Amino acid sequence: MEIPGSGMVALTLFLFLSVSVCFSASNSTKESFLQCFYSHSPPSNTTSDVIFSQNSSQYLSILQSSIRNLRFLNASKPQYLVTPDSEAHIQAAVICSKEHGLHVRVRSGGHDYEGLSYISDVPFIIIDLFQMRSISLDIKNEYAWVGGGATLGELYYSIAGSSNLHGFPAGSCPTVGVGGHISGGGFGTIFRKYGLAADNVIDAQIVDVNGNILDRKSMGEDLFWAIRGGGAQSFGVIFSWKVKLVRVPPTVTVFSIGKTLEQGATKLLHKWQTVADKLHQDFFIHVVMGVPSANSNGNKTVRVSFDCLFLGTAERLLSLLQQEDGFPELGVTRDNCTEMSWIQSVLYFAGFSITESSDVLLNRTMSSTQFSKAKSDYVKEPIPESGLEGLYKMLVEEENSILILTPYGGSMSQISSSEIPFPHRSGNLYGIQYILDWAAAEETEKHLGWMRRLYKYMEPYVSKSPRAAYFNYRDLDLGRNNKRHTSYAQAAVWGLKYFNHNFKRLVRVKTSTDPDNFFWNEQSIPVSQSGSTKKGKKE
């Protein structure tokens, strides 16, 4: 696919896994890593290859298959790609990487905003879980086991195939992987009612730093707490989640109302800030702010779209919304509402037509891959109109800038802020995600500069001490670890933003489960230097 303006080919390659691989034996370290890997793997199997060296003809297509941000297309590459089809391959990869001094990155859907699942500046391997994506449902008992490399789309598709009364509360983008998403929190259109994806995890299977397989019972409640929102990459490799299915009504309703500034967007936006978190938890009305192309007289204007998912019929939606404590100013009518099934609402929020077959949710290829940068904030007090005016001025400077304002409240305010590591619960009106895409490599610095100015501009209007951020909207501008040895104080700079008071407990869990900091990345949980909580592991 051509990326407009760059003449570059987006690498959206389909993977064929049955071709055999040839390995070069020219480097003895590599050879012995391979020998180690094979000796720890199940008896070799000619129909399924699970390790690829840089010389393999499939290496590049597999590596690039889930790179979602062109900023990282040419970054340093792993010595090996391991694509396990059973947990034994994960165990082998962990044990042998440790033995051969190779670093490990784990990839599920590859959506990490800073590419941390597939790039590293020290010699490394990638464990890519895309072959481990089986999903088994037990509708009667309302749970599912989901492979660590499955996508949200695959999960939604399979639930809807078995029940029209069940769903799962997670993100809207179907290509996002459950590995990163659930372990970092995970919110979507029904989270005001059911909580985060991570709030609905009831068990998990993980390969730990010693190559052991643990489940909830054997890992214990501390580690089980940490991997539900604290980012699994600091603790091991999740190869399966057991999640609770939630009950959705047979009919849900959506609408989308868009207004430009000239059409009175500011007044509505101001009102939205005071009601969106207080509406009935069956409502989710998020705001998408963007800048359409210049209009006929050459002016650029900001467009604000109020997009709703309601867990119920149009009739009930209208009666709640039109009440005084609803949002009558939005002027929603029956004509604006479309009733549909939950799975159709998934298609709708993923940008597909609701008449399309839900098979499209199984497609792991994103419709376009560009250069991008994102940041996040939390808002506790409505932003005054003067603050919004300044924001519009900045937005019109960048044609592809988008802000998504996600309402909190509902169940999110009822769940304790230390229930899992994700701390952003009551007291938050909404979260903001800032996203910027561009198509030309040479513009990268300019756009990053704009994004940082926007973030600076927003400072007075958002949460303070710490200025909170959402871990799944990874942002290395917030700070990064020094290779493997990072002090608590250094990591706390970004750690408190993502996890607030839960950061300390994450450090304790990390210190007791991975005292040598084998599983690290630029924003992994650091090991406490005092090592006071070590549990009989070597120093």
Query: Is 42 a residue that touches ligand NAG (CB under 6 A)?
Result: yes
Return the residue of 238, 314, 330, 507 that touches ligand FAD, per CB under 6 A. 238
Shortest CB 234 distance to ligand FAD, Å: 8
Burial of residue 94 (CB within 10 Å: 0-12, 13-18, 19+) is buried
- The helix, strand and coil proportions of the chain, stated in percent and rounded to the nearest 5, come to 35, 20, 45
Site for ligand FAD in 108-137 (CB under 6 A): 108-113, 116-117, 129
Return the residue of 19, 20, 47, 489 that touches ligand NAG, per CB under 6 A. 47
Contact (Cβ atoms closer than 8 angstroms) between residue 421 and residue 506: yes
Residue 512 phi, psi dihedral angles, 5° rounding: -85, -20
The set of residues, in sequence order, having a beta carbon less than 8 Å from that of 39 and lying 6+ positions away, is none
Report the partner that residue 48 touches, choosing among ligand FAD, ligand NAG, none (CB closer than 5 to 8 A by kind). ligand NAG
The set of residues, in sequence order, having a beta carbon less than 8 Å from that of 415 and lying 6+ positions away, is 195, 199, 425
CA distance 361 to 183: 21
CA distances from 328 to 129, 271, 306, 415 (A): 47, 10, 13, 29
Report the partner that residue 148 touches, choosing among ligand FAD, ligand NAG, none (CB closer than 5 to 8 A by kind). ligand FAD
Site for ligand NAG in 145-164 (CB under 6 A): none
Candidate segments 173-181, 260-268, 305-313, 315-323, binder of ligand FAD by CB under 6 A = 173-181
CA distances from 322 to 317, 332, 333 (A): 8, 8, 10
Query: Is 526 a residue that touches ligand FAD (CB under 6 A)?
Result: no
Query: Is 211 a residue that touches ligand FAD (CB under 6 A)?
Result: no
Query: Is 54 a residue that touches ligand NAG (CB under 6 A)?
Result: yes
Contact (Cβ atoms closer than 8 angstroms) between residue 234 and residue 520: yes
CA distance 145 to 170: 15
Structure tokens at 305: 């779209």
Shortest CB 389 distance to ligand FAD, Å: 28
Q: How many residues does the chain have?
A: 539
Going by DSSP bridges, is the β-strand pair 371-379/201-207 parallel, antiparallel, or unpaired?
Answer: unpaired
Query: Is 123 a residue that touches ligand NAG (CB under 6 A)?
Result: yes
Going by DSSP bridges, is the β-strand pair 103-107/166-167 parallel, antiparallel, or unpaired?
Answer: unpaired
Site for ligand NAG in 319-358 (CB under 6 A): 333, 335-336
**Closer to ligand FAD by Cβ: residue 133 or 244:** 133
**Closer to ligand FAD by Cβ: residue 180 or 421:** 180
Report the partner that residue 441 touches, choosing among ligand NAG, ligand FAD, none (CB closer than 5 to 8 A by kind). ligand NAG
Query: Is 29 a residue that touches ligand NAG (CB under 6 A)?
Result: yes
| Residue whose C-alpha is closest to residue 328's, from 393, 405, 275 | 275
**Closer to ligand FAD by Cβ: residue 318 or 377:** 377
**Closer to ligand NAG by Cβ: residue 12 or 521:** 12
Structure tokens at 493: 């700079």
**Closer to ligand FAD by Cβ: residue 117 or 512:** 117
* Dihedral Cα 309, 314, 318, 319, nearest 10 deg: -120
Shortest CB 359 distance to ligand NAG, Å: 8
Q: Quote the distance between the C-alpha of residue 394 and its chain's center.
A: 26
**Closer to ligand FAD by Cβ: residue 95 or 106:** 106
H or E stretch covering 204: strand 201-207
388's torsion region: left (phi>0), alpha (psi -120 to 50) or beta?
Answer: alpha
**Closer to ligand FAD by Cβ: residue 283 or 422:** 422
Return the residue of 84, 169, 177, 407 that touches ligand FAD, per CB under 6 A. 177
Return the residue of 370, 472, 511, 513 that touches ligand FAD, per CB under 6 A. 472
Query: Is 378 a residue that touches ligand FAD (CB under 6 A)?
Result: no
Rg of the chain, C-alpha, whole Å: 23
Contact (Cβ atoms closer than 8 angstroms) between residue 432 and residue 380: no
Candidate segments 177-185, 270-278, 383-391, 486-494, binder of ligand FAD by CB under 6 A = 177-185
113 carries an active-site annotation: no
Candidate segments 155-163, 171-179, 495-503, 525-533, binder of ligand FAD by CB under 6 A = 171-179
Query: Is 179 a residue that touches ligand FAD (CB under 6 A)?
Result: yes
Out of 348, 473, 488, 498, which one is annotated catalytic?
473
The set of residues, in sequence order, having a beta carbon less than 8 Å from that of 162 and lying 6+ positions away, is 137, 139
Return the residue of 210, 251, 365, 490 that touches ligand NAG, per CB under 6 A. 365
Query: Residues touching ligand FAD: how many (CB under 6 A)?
Result: 34
- Where on the chain is the footprint of ligand FAD (CB under 6 A)? 68, 105-113, 116-117, 129, 148, 171-173, 176-177, 179-181, 183-188, 232-233, 237-238, 472, 521
Residues that bind ligand NAG (CB under 6 A): 8, 24, 26-30, 42-43, 45, 47-48, 53-55, 70, 73-74, 85, 123, 257, 262, 297, 299, 333, 335-336, 363, 365, 367, 441
Active-site residue list = 473
